[in-house]
Chains A and B, each alone.
Chain A
Amino acid sequence: MKSPEPENFGAHSRRTFLKTLGTAAVTAAAARAQSVAAELEKVNAEKTLGPGAVPVTLKVNGETLKLMLEPRVTLLDALRNYSSLTGAKESCDRAACGACTVMMDNTPIYACQKLAIEAQGREITTVEGLAKNGKLTKVQQAFWDKDALQCGYCTPGFVMSVTALLKKNPRPTAEEVKHACAGNLCRCGTHPHILQAVFQATGVNTASKTEVMDYA
């Protein structure tokens, strides 16, 4: 293990990896294999880290975090348990639920699938880093207004996925929102309200279709 992490390698969450599995998959894979091989050579030339704790420097929400971590500690573990940033949640710890979603250089990733030492030199943004001076972002405010959260345990993950989407695509279609949130699970069933919230955040107002009728 070494750090910092090489460019073009490891920046792929499951989400972006699946996206790239299109027609270009073969060439991309070949190119990546080459760059991986090249990187491995470089890596092997350097000193091996671990298994004991090593100093790790993370840049999270614009601030520098200096931690001592075993190289096998994930970014999620580092945030939640070696600092007090518990906004990103752990629900599966194996790339299947999205509760741990954070942004790395504006790309949403599963923090449970990234070793902390690999995240060095990157800009990490967690849900705690969105609101500035107590003012919620448009996405957060829309989640609140539309009640796009119930127990709230999946919520930081959804907020990060949606925030990252809107940075790249300020006017997504419903299909694009569904695609961007395909890696996030919610057991409480907030999905319809999440869709409404995303549209509100993009300036499209979607009125609730719920009707109240008197029985009498």
Chain B
Amino acid sequence: MPSWPTNTKYISQSTPRVDAAAKLTGRARYSSDIQADGWLYGMILRSKWPAAKISGINLDKALQVPGIKAAITVRDGERTVHFYGEELAAVAGTTRQACLDALRAIEVKAQPLPFVVREDDAKKDNAPKVWEGAANASPGKSREQGTLDQAFTECAAVIEGFYTTPVQIHNPMETHGNTVSWTDDGVTAWSSTQGISSVRDGLAGALKLDHSQVRVITDFMGGGFGAKFGAGAEGVLAARLSREAKAPVRLMLTRFDQALAVGNRPSSFQKIKIGALADGTLHAFEMDNYGTAGIGAGGDSGGGGGGADIPAPYIYKVPNIRVKQTHVAVNAGSARAFRAPGNPPASYGMESAMDDLAVKLGMDPLELRLKNDPNEIRQREYKTGAEKFGWKQKYQKPGSSPGIVKTGIGCAGAAWPAGGASKSTQGEAQINPDGSIEFRLGVQDIGTGTKTVIAVVAAEMLGLKTEQITVKVGDTNFPPGPGSGGSTTCASISPTVFDICTKALQQLQTQAGIADARGENWFAACKKLGVSPLVVHGQWQPGLSADHACGVQFAEVTVDTETGLVTVKKVVAVHDCGLIVDKLTTESQVNGGIIMGLGYALYEERVMDDLSGVVLNPNFETYKLPGLADVPEIEIVLINMPERGVIGIGEPATVATAGAIANAVANAIGVRVSSLPITPAKVLAALGKVPPSTASKS
């Protein structure tokens, strides 16, 4: 079995990311920056009806707008649209303004149909059907273990709660989109994607081309978080427009489009009943959960389609269980994988219930967790984090913080059981006689530091400096790599680069006759290659990576009981990801996970209008993201476990935050806000200071 080097110069140290200068100087070309020769703007006309029969689309007037080079419909003939924002037609033109004018000139003959956008309404028997001939609510999946009803009677304490989470929108700063050029030689797409291979395959399938006729390039992309794996309707439309207009077409979605049609995290409505024995041992757990993935029902958490299932009971061991889960279809854009699918809502619901149970038991909630968490690593993380956070000194009984602005603390745990590696990952390196070396992997760097990880591993293995390593990714012409999802990228590419380097050193030994070509011998060895470079192919190897990362987070908040405003003061996060490859970018991943979790806890929610069926907040003014002033002091402890090999960290880092913050709020004010996001209105309602909002879902 191969093993990672110890006494390292780069691995587990802090290397600033290798492509930073390009990003900091504006030199980096993102998909939205591509200016292919003679390129046109592309734009999409979307349904303004949440449900409608479309009987005709007339493009004639759009085609007459000066500057318009192509106008197409998504499909011919009659069709039904199922959500506000569904793609109807697309145009390509020489200016943005021409396209806007052309979209306005398209005539659509539509007959609006009844629709439903709220989960509770959609479940009713007489609700309009989202899909003809199918019930809105799936029959539901049930799972049972032990003797639940009996078990509840044996409990010393039982609580019931209804914990709800909203639909969250990915909102990467760069929207979805592509520049696509379709010529006789095939299609080239510069895609803002997390999966160049899946986009290539998707485009080839939709356009009826061979895979080899489609090339996807992603030099830089501005974030995805799970929403950017496929070619997407926008990718296919860009390609078709390009063929029609005989010119490259850049079709980037608007912020508005992004909120409607390209993914989201499903909602959850978790009715939980949980009971424990007198010593705090969990004994019985019952959950009835439903949620919506928009028009996309089916598919479990973790999949690209995105269902509304969540793992339950989350992370704790309970002997007696009944779990029922239902997907509810509504007339809204389909869900997609979203950073740790299923896990943040599961953690929020379960961890809230745990704290409510601790109150009933009169126990310290941290003690209750230590009593019931079967995972040894998390046990260790709780103890480490509690000390760093000062849990013992800070903990007060719920609601006992004095004054108008109350302080509270809470904690929660995370698991990321998926992860692991994509075992088919491949890559190559070209070693030139002058000693320069270039790595080429068909993976993409979505901001997680993939290029940096390649450089760090290569520099370590070859005894070179990271500056000597050239890294090229984001091109389907390179050996195939994984999509950037499931926190698998790091664990896929690190062993692959390890393998390439090992083979390179072996071949240099054979070809150059130098026993150890590393470090100071490098240039001499390469020189002996003569005139032809050495190209070494490698692939993922077992024994160098693992899966199942854990983590725990502690949060301290203040709650103003007069305004209802929650401020997160501090978060202590303890996470493990096996062997830490680059400490600095790992830290960035954890920060990012926490901040996204903070948004989920306090601000983010897609709001639908049930009367018109439209998304009411498809922009950054009304869909709130955390800003610099909202970000607390963050302290991170990384538990290094080199013996496990490399594990990804992007997803586990965002799982526990909302639960920890929600528990801290409950600890501060002595009552539970059982619905995310925890807005001032909900805090005041929980305190009995204002009536609960009728528009609110809880």
Which stretch from B122-130, B303-311, B421-429, B624-632 is at the chain A interface? B624-632
Please pick, from A80, A185, A192, the residue contacting B173 in the complex, using a CB distance under 8 A.
A185
The stretch of A22-30, A38-46, A86-94 that contacts the partner chain? A86-94
Chain A 149-161 per-residue mask, 1 if CB under 8 angstroms from chain B, else 0: 1111111100100
B34 nearest CB neighbor, chain A only: A86
A115: chain B residues within 8 A (beta carbon): none
A8 contacts the other chain (CB 8 A)? no
Contact bitstring A179-213, B, C-beta under 8 A = 1, else 0: 10110111111111111000000000000111111
Q: How far does the alpha carbon of A213 sit from the alpha carbon of B642 in the complex, in Å?
A: 11
Contact B26 A147 (CB under 8 A): no
* A87 to B583 CA separation, bound complex (whole angstroms): 28
Contact of B628 among A140, A159, A182 (CB under 8 A): A182
Bits for A95-108, please: 1 = Cβ < 8 Å to B, else 0.
01101000000000
Q: Residue B581 at the A interface, CB < 8 A?
A: no
Report the Cα distance A77→B95, complex, angstroms: 10
Known: A91-B255, A187-B225. A182 touches B24 (CB 8 A): no
B634 at the interface (CB under 8 A from A): yes
B380, CB-defined interface residue at 8 Å:
yes
Contact B585 A140 (CB under 8 A): no
> Which chain A residues lie closer than 8 Å to B620 at the CB level?
92, 96-97, 185
Shortest Cβ distance from residue A70 to the other chain B in the assembled complex, whole angstroms: 6
Which listed residue (A72, A96, A188, A189) contacts B621, Cβ 8 A? A96
Decide yes or no whether B468 CB sits under 8 A from chain A. Answer: no
- List, in ascending order, chain A residues with CB within 8 A of B20's CB: 143-144, 147, 149, 152
Please tell me if B596 contacts chain A, counting CB pairs below 8 Å: yes
Please indicate the chain B residues that have their CB under 8 angstroms from the CB of A117 in the complex.
Answer: none
A9 to chain B, nearest CB (A): 24
Instruction: Please tell me the size bucket of the interface on B.
Output: 35 or more
Knowing A81-B96, A128-B26 are in contact, say whether A151-B221 is a contact too (CB < 8 A).
yes
For residue B446, CB closer than 8 A to chain A, the reply is: yes
Report Cα–Cα, A175/B56, bound state, in Å. Answer: 56
Decide yes or no whether A216 CB sits under 8 A from chain B.
yes
A157 to B542, CA, bound (A): 42
Asked whether, in the complex, the Cβ of B173 is within 8 Å of the Cβ of A184, the reply is: no
Bound together, the chains give a CA A70 to CA B20 distance in angstroms of 35
A63 close to chain B: CB less than 8 A: no
Residues of B within 8 A of A195 (CB): 628
Assess whether A188 is in contact with B592, with CB atoms less than 8 Å apart. yes
Known contacts A182-B628, A211-B636, A213-B640; A136 and B24 CB within 8 A of each other: yes
Interface hits, A123-177 → B, CB 8 Å: 126-128, 130-131, 136, 140, 143-145, 147, 149-156, 159, 177
Supposing A152-B220, A193-B591 touch, asked if A90 and B32 sit within 8 A by C-beta, the answer is: yes
Interface pair B628/A128, CB less than 8 Å apart: no
Chain B residues near A154 (CB-CB < 8 A): 173, 222
Give the chain A neighbours of B584 by CB distance below 8 A: 147, 208
A136 to B377, CA, bound (A): 42
Q: How far is the CB of B317 from chain A (nearest CB, A)?
A: 22
Asked if B448 and A150 sit within 8 Å, CB to CB, the answer is yes
* A99–B182 CA distance with the chains assembled, in angstroms: 30
A144 with B173, Cβ < 8 A, contacts A193-B591, A215-B639 known = no
Asked whether A89 lies within 8 Å of B32 as measured between CB atoms, the reply is yes
Contact A185 B638 (CB under 8 A): no
In angstroms, Cα B650 to Cα A38, docked, is 56
Q: Contacts A144-B20, A209-B635, A213-B639 given: A189-B592 contact, CB under 8 Å? A: yes
Contact partner of B16 (CB less than 8 A), chosen from A70, A145, A152, A215, is A145
Q: How far is the CB of B399 from chain A (nearest CB, A)?
A: 31
State A185–B63 Cα separation when bound (angstroms): 37
Closest to B29 in A: A86
A94, A153, A177, A195: residue with the most chain B Cβ atoms closer than 10 Å = A153
Instruction: State whether the Cβ of B162 lies closer than 8 Å to any Cβ in chain A.
Output: no
* Cα(A136)–Cα(B24), bound, Å: 9
Q: Give A82 to B591 CA distance when docked, in angstroms.
A: 37
CB of A67 closer than 8 Å to a CB of B: no
B residues 528-587 with Cβ under 8 Å of A? 576, 580, 583-585, 587
B33: Cβ under 8 A from any A Cβ: yes
Output the nearest chain A residue to B170 by Cβ-Cβ distance.
Answer: A187
List A contacts of B364 (CB < 8 A): none
**Minimum CB distance partner of B576 in chain A:** A215
Option from B35, B223, B619, B629 in Cβ contact (under 8 Å) with A153: B223
Number of interface residues of A (CB under 8 A): 66
Bound Cα distance A140, B584 (Å): 17
Which B residues lie within 8 Å of A7 (CB)?
A: none
Bound-complex Cα distance A45 to B248 (A)? 43
Give, as a whole number of angstroms, the nearest-CB distance from A74 to chain B: 9
Contacting residues, chain A, for B639 (C-beta < 8 A):
213-215
A153-B591 contact in complex given A147-B17, A192-B631, C-beta closer than 8 Å: no
Residue contact B380 to A215, C-beta cutoff 8 Å: yes
Q: A211 near B16 (CB under 8 angstroms)?
A: no
Check A84–B173 contact: CB distance below 8 A.
Answer: no
Contacts of A152 in B (CB 8 A): 19-20, 23-24, 28, 220, 222, 447
Given A136-B21, A152-B28, the answer on whether A89 and B35 have CB atoms closer than 8 Å is: no
Closest to B13 in A: A212
**CB <8 Å contact, A210 and B583:** yes
Bound complex: CA A93 to CA B175 (Å): 11
* B12 adjacent to chain A (CB < 8 Å): yes
* Shortest distance from the beta carbon of B598 to any chain A beta carbon, whole Å: 9
Q: Please tell me if the beta carbons of B591 and A191 are within 8 angstroms of each other in the complex.
A: yes
Known: A94-B255, A187-B172. Contact between A127 and B635, CB under 8 A?
Answer: no
Once the chains are docked, how many angstroms separate the CA of A155 from the CA of B30? 13
Across the interface, name the chain B residue whose C-beta is closest to A87.
B26
**A residues less than 8 Å from B627 (CB atoms):** 178, 181-182, 184-185, 191
**In the complex, what residues of B have CB within 8 A of residue A1's CB?**
none
A140-B24, A144-B24, A185-B625 known; A91-B637 Cβ under 8 A: no
Beta-carbon contact of B638 and A211 below 8 Å:
yes
The answer to whether A213 and B173 touch across the interface, beta carbons within 8 angstroms, is no
In the assembled complex, A36 has its CB within 8 A of some CB on chain B: no
Q: Are B254 and A93 in contact (CB-based, < 8 A)? A: yes
| B residues in contact with A216, CB < 8 Å | 641, 643
CB closest residue in chain B, given A185 = B625
Chain B positions within 8 Å of A72 at CB level: 97
- When A126-B26, A147-B585, A214-B640 are in contact, do A153 and B576 touch as well, CB less than 8 Å? no
The listed residue with most B CB atoms (<10 A of its CB), out of A126, A127, A179, A191, is A191
Write the nearest CB–CB distance from A160 to chain B, whole angstroms: 10
Whether A11 sits at the interface, judged by CB under 8 Å, is no
* Chain A nearest Cβ from B616, distance in angstroms: 15
Q: Is the CB of A73 within 8 A of B97?
A: yes
Which are the 3 A-B pairs with shortest beta-carbon distances?
A: A87-B26, A151-B447, A153-B222
9 sampled A-B residue pairs with Cβ under 8 A? A86-B29, A99-B173, A131-B25, A144-B17, A153-B222, A154-B222, A188-B447, A190-B591, A190-B592
Given contacts A81-B35, A97-B255, A147-B588, 12 further A-B contacts (CB under 8 A): A73-B97, A90-B32, A92-B619, A93-B254, A94-B619, A96-B620, A144-B24, A149-B23, A193-B587, A212-B12, A213-B638, A215-B639
Binding site for B on A (CB under 8 A): 70, 72-73, 77, 80-81, 84-94, 96-97, 99, 126-128, 130-131, 136, 140, 143-145, 147, 149-156, 159, 177-179, 181-182, 184-195, 208-216
